[in-house]
Amino acid sequence: MIRFDEVTKVYSGNPRPALNAVTLEILKGEFVFLVGASGSGKSSFLRLVLKEEKPSKGQIHVLGQRLGTLSSRKVPYFRRNLGVVFQDFRLLPQKNVFDNVAFSLQVIGKSKGFIQEAVPDVLKMVGLVGKQHRLPHELSGGEQQRVAIARAIVNKPAVLLADEPTGNLDPSTSAGIMTLLERINASGTTVIMATHDAGIVDQMQRRVIELSAGNILRDERRAGYQTQAVPIQAIGVEDLSLRGEDL
């Protein structure tokens, strides 16, 4: 579904790579946490999957497409298979809930009939029944994130990318969002979520990929969030991954 082959990403003006020869594969239907300190390469990873950035070296395959050979004209059509959620929601402030979700369908040319059917469905799924005429500033943070999730999944994407979706939310609201993401994952959508929220990762016990300075520190199934109380450079990579098993 998503495969990184020795992918290196170097930003101009910074000799240290954001991702350093990363190789990994994410399968259909998986729920993956990307963890690591700020600047460890989580966002770069997500941007590379979205083809918002080009890798400096290496190959990326997403949904059977080799991103290196994808022409920029075809990128929009490729992105229709991906849903994205951000920490800051990125809703349109002057559009109400329904229109915010409908907007993403309108701009990819869906028919009015399809929109009238799909939007209420997805709003029901994310638990926003009866709030479709509210404006974003009239909603709580958790509700705004639900609108953003509804927008991301209304087109039934194969992959949902979430960049710290609970970063602005309190723990109980976050739990609600995680339940929602779990439900989306259960319906077959691959979910990749970058997060700093140790509680969520520990509780969910899903695949965890930990990045540090552009390298994969560990990649484990059914794992928890590892705090970084111990300086990483002081310990070998293998030691850390062992500690991951212990937690």
Partner 1 sequence: MRLGLVLAEVGSGLRRNASMVVSVVLVTFISLTFVGTAALLQMQINQMKGYWYDKAQVAVYLCTDTDTTGNCTGAKATQDQIDAVQQQLASPVLSPYVDRDYFESQDDAYSRFQEQFADSPATEFVQPEYLNETFWVNLKDPTQAEVLQESLSSLAGVQSVVDQRGYLDPIFDLLNAASYTAIGIAVLMLIAAVLLIATTIRLSAFSRRRELGIMRLVGASNTFIQTPFILEGVIAALVGSFLAGGAILAVVHFFVKGYLVVNFTGTPFIGLQEAAIVVPLVVLVGIVLAALSANVAIRRYLKV
Q: Does 68 bind partner 1 (CB under 8 A)?
A: no
Q: Is the Cβ of residue 14 or residue 72 nearer to partner 1 in the bound state?
A: 72
Tokens of 168: 């602005």
Q: Does 229 bind partner 1 (CB under 8 A)?
A: no
Query: Minimal distance in Å, beta carbon 166 to partner 1?
Result: 19
Question: Given its phi and psi angles, is residue 23 left (phi above 0), alpha (psi -120 to 50 degrees) or beta?
Answer: beta
Exactly one of 80, 124, 133, 243 binds partner 1 (CB under 8 A); which one?
A: 80
Q: Does 12 bind partner 1 (CB under 8 A)?
A: no
Asked if residues 70 and 51 have their Cβ atoms less than 8 Å apart, the reply is: yes
Tokens of 234: 């002081």
The site that binds partner 1 (CB under 8 A) totals a number of residues, namely 26
Query: Minimal distance in Å, beta carbon 17 to partner 1?
Result: 21
Which residues, other chains included, contact 215 with Cβ-Cβ below 8 Å and sequence gap of 6+?
20, 21, 22, 237
∠ Cα 215 219 224 (to 5°): 115
Which residues, other chains included, contact 44 with Cβ-Cβ below 8 Å and sequence gap of 6+?
9, 18, 19, 53, 214
Give 241: exposed, middle or buried? Use CB within 10 Å, 0-12, 13-18, 19+: middle
Residues between 131 and 190 that touch partner 1 (CB under 8 A):
151, 155
Which residues, other chains included, contact 241 with Cβ-Cβ below 8 Å and sequence gap of 6+?
217, 218, 220
Q: Is the Cβ of residue 99 or residue 220 nearer to partner 1 in the bound state?
A: 99
Q: Which stretch binds partner 1 (CB under 8 A): 26-34, 45-53, 195-203, 204-212?
A: 45-53
Q: Is the Cβ of residue 68 or residue 76 nearer to partner 1 in the bound state?
A: 76
Q: Does 112 bind partner 1 (CB under 8 A)?
A: yes
Q: Does 73 bind partner 1 (CB under 8 A)?
A: yes
Residues forming the site for partner 1 (CB under 8 A): 50-52, 72-73, 75-80, 82, 84, 90, 92-93, 103-104, 106-109, 111-112, 151, 155
